[in-house]
Structure 1
Amino acid sequence: MAEGAGEPSASGQIPAGLGISAEKLMGQSKSSAEEFVDFKDLSEPQEGTNKLFLVCFNCKCKVMCPGYGTLVEKERFLPSMTEKYKIGEEPKGDDLKKFWLVKDMFHFENVGFSKTVNGTEQFLICADCEIGPIGWYDIQNKTEIYVAAERVRYATK
């Protein structure tokens, strides 16, 4: 493809004449909210589907739009988001109880999936900064993906 026909140039710059800026492309996944709220600080109970954007704690990336997750109670241990551990070591982490159940992996804005762990599950991470795990997915059940309610922040936009 010729330079300027939709492909970046060799310098990595977006060719002129496409009507889109690099700033616009880079900012599409970020929340423009001024304030973020932690799950424990939400003023109204989150019953039914999520009413707010789920946003990465670290980089403010939008993880999921309102209306796609259903709050469920399910006990689950997830490894720490900040501490690394060696293979063969017991990971440090948290026993969590509140999760957003998402029925389709295409309902996420920006989420990544780890390599398969324990033969049947994958961890969810922020696709932009790769922090996680923020949830998990059992590859044998394609309609149940869980995002830990306490491992994301909340925003109105």
Structure 2
Amino acid sequence: MTENRDPGGPIRQFTADLVEAAMAGAYEEVADTLGALTRAGSPHAPAEVVAELVDRCAGVVHARHPAGPGSIFTIVVADDQARPVEVDRLPPGPLAALRALLAALGDDVESRDIQVELASRGEPDDVVCVVIHLLVWLVEVSDSSTAALPSLSCFTP
């Protein structure tokens, strides 16, 4: 992947490459890719990447903890010191991404789509913040070394 990669191309492959870099700890590659996303010519690319990441997170959670219809999911958010964070204090983008994830877990496609749209609005820095949170959450829930799902990290004040 290079910084000249076109995120307006196949979003699924772009997101797969981004996730692969994040999982491998290739943070310079992730940063370059996020830079390409901010320069995307398509106004829809950020929302498509956010939607893809939300679905990947939900897929990992469902694979680790299958749930029946009507199951209720709760999410615990923690700061860099592992202290609980009040969800309502999250910035709008990450909060909408969190709500999109909960909607995806509950198979509420309409709410998921609305929250993805809200999460991907704003300035490029806002969208990068959302994508970074989703990447970190995906890495956290993918950690197979723990039986229980972890708290999700939040990196904003």
TM-score scaled to structure 1, two decimals? 0.25
Greater radius of gyration (CA): 1
- Larger fraction in strand: 1
More helix by share: 2
